[in-house]
Amino acid sequence: MSTTLPNPGFGTFRLEGETLRDSLNTALDTGYRHIDTAQFYGNEAEVGQIIADSKVPREELFITTKIWHDRLVPGDMEKSVEESLERLQTDHVDLLLIHWPSPNDEVPMEDYLPVLAKLKAAGKARHIGVSNFTCEQLERAVGIVGRDELLTNQVEVHPFMQNRKVIDKCHELGIEVTAFMPLAVGKVMDDDTLKAIAERHDASPAQIALAWLKMQDIVTFPSSTKAKNIKSNFEAFSMSLTGEDMAKIAELDRGERIANPDFAPDWD
């Protein structure tokens, strides 16, 4: 079980303005303490202001942000992180990730990963990691910065995209798995298997998908704009599933990848 990354976190992708303010405040009131944002989301300044206005002390929060792939050139990368910290109104983040590997290795990993490690050493981030890295890229990354340097690889994981090869590689390399899109953009709600398991547990299919991740020690950060769902998502992390439930969900894997931009790496 992750002792470093609070589980669950709250995802802020596509949230802005009043919607972001209301959702994040509800999440903080509910007990979420891990907040996931990114340079690409365009909402770091809003997230920073909401945190500053909230009653939750900064030291109780675990803030993750991510460096976009157009800011990976050494020199510009450090500048982009200073900009992120300024927007977030903090002198450090708890986790700093490379959002995507540089498309076609345009900026070599050997250039930007040592900078990431230096940012951690300088106290700009308590932990560092990567996102959307393949098995081969994880091997390379560990070869560059060392085995215990990268805390996590944040990747798409949900019942229809179980990403087992990458998860196994993370375990082999001592890297924790963080899952984004845990509810497959709402598709879990329509699945008959998840509905049947949910009925047995007096829960929702979304709660079952989240509990399934928790049972595998995978940290995730569901996003919602509805107070009821923000609370029920949080409650899912105190649920337990049976071995039979887990086996049935394992059969749902169909490699259905949702996050697949044209600059994505060659997936495993």
User: Which residue ranges make up the annotated binding site?
Assistant: 99
Residue positions forming the annotated binding site for substrate: 99
Rounded distance, CA 239 to CA 82, Å? 39
Q: What span, in angstroms and rounded, lies between the C-alpha atoms of 60 and 57?
A: 6
Cβ of 266: how many Cβ atoms within 10 Å? Answer: 7
Contact 35, 62 (CB under 8 A): yes
Integer Cα distance of 61 and 151 in angstroms: 17
Inter-CA distances, 14 with 119, 184, 248, Å: 27, 15, 32
| Beta strands in 92-164, from DSSP E residues, in sequence order | 93-98, 125-131, 150-156
Yes or no: say if 27 and 56 are a contact pair by the CB < 8 Å rule: no
Between helix 76-88 and helix 109-121 the angle, nearest 10°, is 40
Beta strand pairing call for 34-36 and 93-98: unpaired
- Helix, strand and coil content of the chain, in percent to the nearest 5, comes to 50, 15, 35
| ω into 8 cis (within 30 of 0) | yes
Catalytically active residues are 41
H/E stretch holding 244 = helix 243-250
Element (H, E) at 219: strand 219-220
Amino acid, res. 74:
P
